[in-house]
Chains A and B, each alone.
Chain A
Amino acid sequence: MALGGRPDGLLTGPGMIVRGSGERVRGNRFWANGYHGLILESDLTGSEGHANPSRNVIEGNLFAGNGGNGIYGDGKNAVDPSTGNILRFNLLDRNNQARRGDGDGELRVVGNLDDLQVYNNTIYSENANGVLLFAPRRVRLSNNVVVQVGNVRRTYPLRGINVAAGMSSDFNNWYRPGPGPLVDWNGAECATLEEFRRQTGQEGRSLAVDPRFVSLERSNFWLRATSPLIGWGPSTGGMAADLGAFPRRPLLEVAPRELRLVVVAGGADPPAPAVEVLSAAGIPLAWTARTSGERWLAVATGSGETPARLKVAVRAAGQTAGVYEATVQVAPAIEGEPALAVRVTLTVIPSPARRRRLP
């Protein structure tokens, strides 16, 4: 049992401990637990016997606001290492609420977790290191986005202690918006990624840029369309080419995407149909709408916030018989985000009286 963590001495527990093998932990929310969000743990002396958790897949989970680390992988120094565990597509957001300091990380990996794959995770840290590796074995880091915004002394986006050969790390984004070194590696600080590359040969194709999240205020870590991390990484072996836990997709959902209206020439305008404007990102989003400029087409409002019903008005007066096409463009109110088009087809048929006069 894992205990401890609160500085006031209150003994606390983590959200989940995994000592088994072949387990899948997917799409869960671990939040506000007193200790770590999840512990992947070897156990050498526990009452349940010898444990080398292997082949576990921890994916697509949220770890937020926990007292300890988001994920704590503890291989200890087992003679038989834990092997083949995978951490992917997880969001670790401002954990370590009760454990501020340089000895912790949003993701902390210690000891004998051999062949641990860590890819496509998004990590946002205020109180500790982004990723802390302590005497790791063969850890492979790729396609991760790590942002460290705190000013806790000696914390970094990446910190390695007693790191020996065998680790590989590339195609990640290590970002620190404020001043301070980017990496601490075996006690040597590296101000830039280039310096770290020269020292270790790691991170040859990694970045150190603002990932351009959709909304930090609303804890949305999707990538904006203008993010330099889109398509940056490799997409082999289950990895997504977009760095981080959230492969790029449109922020809005608009339905229907096509409106077909039929009116009689000289008759009344049709009732204004509505288009649903929803956020795909899980948070309310401001949007703007405009037409392609045809005078027979209008939108009831030029902007709003999701969820919304956007009324589309057709003014057919003056339109002669025929088929007219136009679009309504709906876009998130975020610079650079592409618009979604709703295709509008207006068919004006001749009035019966006029048709009778036709030969």
Chain B
Amino acid sequence: MVALALAGAKRAQPPPRVYYVSLQGEDRQPGTAAEPWRRLEWAMTRPFLRAGDVIRVRGGVYREALIRPVASGEPGLPITVLAEPGEQVVLNGRVPASAWESSGSGLYYTDYPEPGGFPYDHPFQVTEDNRLLYRVATPQALDRPGRCFVDQVARRIWVRTTDGRPPSEHVLEYGVAVSGIEFRSGVQHWRLAGLALTGFRTSGVLLAGRAGRIELDGLDIGYVGAHRPGADPSNGWALAVQDTSGENWIHHSRFHHTLAEAVHVSQSGAGGDLFESNDVRQAGGAEWLWEAGPTVC
């Protein structure tokens, strides 16, 4: 037993490695500073990641979703995903909406592709310049500015912009993905620092499936939620902590502009989580929805 312990103690721990992700990279590259990877999802799901590894992410908008890490770090040696200091890294679950056609009377439409199946969905949120358009239940209700209608049969988005100008003069996007980053399947010991997440239906970051000991440091998660005409809003949490092995540390982060509670902590976790020095504001959509009126038209 002693010999085994000594052998274990002597075994050399390979040094942590640093990988790089950039919008100018390619996933088939080795992930070095000179030849970075392209996708955050690719980087965070590499099975060969090990304790102490660091993924440095260059600034830019990464239009990705449903990132589910598989490797785990170790106590004191998390796998770290770090936005390059001074650079804004945004994980945006929304898709740019383009190729708008006018149908007259200030109404515009564009078609969207068939959703790939859960966890991708028909468009649940349509934003104009990062503000949620008011989603109505029937095309007839498109009678006021700042409204949208999603025809799931024809796979067509209809909008009446807030100022009557064509959509091409704004930035219009629609969200189709359930969540941004999900720690599940017992994954342990990760640290995310400095990332921004936006444009998801259910949660920006989800800690579930007995994952735990995840540190979220300086994240900005907002504009999360589904607006369903004629029904209660679905959930829409910036951060959801469910069924974890506990001891997560969420600190110095901003959670805001959600349709449900910005931070949701369910009873099924092991507890011992620390939520510290975060800024939690504007949950409920009141400041986010273009039109503050009754949900049911």
A residues with a Cβ closer than 8 A to B are 1-3, 5-6, 8-35, 37, 39, 43, 48-53, 55, 67
On whether A21 and B284 interact (CB within 8 A), knowing A10-B295, A11-B295, the answer reads: no
Q: Which stretch (B10-18, B184-192, B213-221, B262-270) binds chain A? A: B262-270
A18, chain B: closest CB distance, angstroms: 5
Contact A17 B233 (CB under 8 A): no
Contact A11 B279 (CB under 8 A): no
> Which residue in chain B gives the minimum CB-CB distance to A34?
B284
Contact A2 B287 (CB under 8 A): no
Please name all residues of chain A whose beta carbon is closer than 8 Å to the beta carbon of B32 when the two chains form the complex: none
Chain A residues touching B, majority SS: loop
Is the interface on chain B under 10, 10 to 19, 20 to 34, or 35 or more residues? 35 or more
Instruction: Let me know if B260 is at the binding interface, CB within 8 A.
Output: yes
Contact B283 A15 (CB under 8 A): yes
Instruction: Let me know if B65 is at the binding interface, CB within 8 A.
Output: no
Q: Considering the complex, which residues of chain B in the window 243-297 have a beta carbon less than 8 Å from any beta carbon of chain A? A: 246, 255, 258-287, 289, 292-295
Contact A34 B285 (CB under 8 A): yes
Q: How far is the CA of A55 from the CA of B273 in the complex (A)?
A: 12
Contact A1 B260 (CB under 8 A): yes
On whether A24 and B261 interact (CB within 8 A), knowing A30-B281, A33-B282, A33-B284, the answer reads: no
On whether A13 and B263 interact (CB within 8 A), knowing A8-B292, A8-B293, A26-B275, the answer reads: no
Contact A10 B285 (CB under 8 A): yes
A38, chain B: closest CB distance, angstroms: 8
Closest 4 CB pairs of A and B: A34-B284, A22-B271, A12-B284, A51-B267
> Which residue in chain B gives the minimum CB-CB distance to A10?
B292
Instruction: Let me know if B232 is at the binding interface, CB within 8 A.
Output: yes
A112, chain B: closest CB distance, angstroms: 14
Kindly identify which residue among B273, B279, B284 contacts A35, using a CB–CB cutoff of 8 Å.
Answer: B284
A358, chain B: closest CB distance, angstroms: 62
Kindly identify which residue among A19, A27, A67 contacts B276, using a CB–CB cutoff of 8 Å.
Answer: A27
**Can you offer 30 A-B residue contacts whose CB atoms are under 8 A?**
A1-B235, A1-B260, A1-B264, A9-B293, A10-B293, A10-B294, A11-B295, A12-B283, A13-B233, A13-B285, A14-B284, A15-B280, A16-B262, A18-B265, A21-B271, A22-B271, A22-B272, A24-B273, A26-B276, A26-B277, A27-B276, A28-B276, A28-B277, A28-B278, A29-B279, A29-B280, A33-B281, A49-B267, A49-B268, A51-B267
